[in-house]
């Protein structure tokens, strides 16, 4: 069966979605959670690692912390970018305060930092707060 692999960000189950249905609000076959919700989803380190390794659509992670002013300033912009890119990319957020080992694993030296994953590997990264049009342009899908 052809399609794009997507990891459910709620239960971690791997799903296969026909490419033409990516923008139509696909749901996880196990738990029913949206797979391409158009929202920036908070994830833990294990879910990020699984999605980064397995997903067939671009996955962009925002590494942030609640005490970081630029991170808080960028949060609504990142959410708007997730809505703009619905069906083309998935945007997730990882709190480096709660998941410090993940920050070290991915070599995060400053926050906010966005990292794009495709094909199981990191393809690019950008540090510093950005506005929604800049985020969408940087992702480029």
Q: Which residues are catalytic?
A: 68, 71
Q: How many CA atoms lie within 13 A of 57 on its CB side?
A: 27
**Exposed (0-12), middle (13-18) or buried (19+): which is 74, by Cβ within 10 Å?**
buried
Q: Decide: 75 and 65 in contact? Cβ < 8 Å.
A: no
Residue 28 to residue 134: CA distance in whole angstroms: 30
Burial 76-97 (b: 16+ CB within 10 A, else e): ebbbbbbebbbbebbbbbbbbe
Q: Decide: 58 and 89 in contact? Cβ < 8 Å.
A: yes
3-state secondary structure (DSSP) of residue 54: helix
């Amino acid at each position: 069966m052809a399609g794009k692999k997507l990891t459910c960000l709620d239960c971690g189950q791997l799903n296969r979605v026909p490419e033409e249905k990516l923008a139509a609000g696909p749901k996880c076959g196990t738990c029913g959670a949206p797979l391409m919700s158009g929202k920036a989803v908070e994830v833990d380190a294990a879910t990020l690692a699984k999605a980064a390794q397995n997903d067939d659509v671009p996955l962009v992670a925002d590494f942030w912390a609640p005490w970081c002013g630029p991170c808080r300033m960028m949060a609504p912009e990142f959410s708007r970018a997730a809505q703009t890119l619905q069906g083309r990319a998935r945007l997730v957020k990882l709190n480096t305060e709660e998941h410090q080992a993940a920050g070290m694993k991915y070599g995060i030296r400053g926050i906010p930092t966005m990292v794009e994953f495709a094909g199981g590997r990191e393809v690019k990264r950008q540090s510093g707060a950005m506005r929604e049009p800049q985020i969408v342009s940087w992702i480029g899908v």
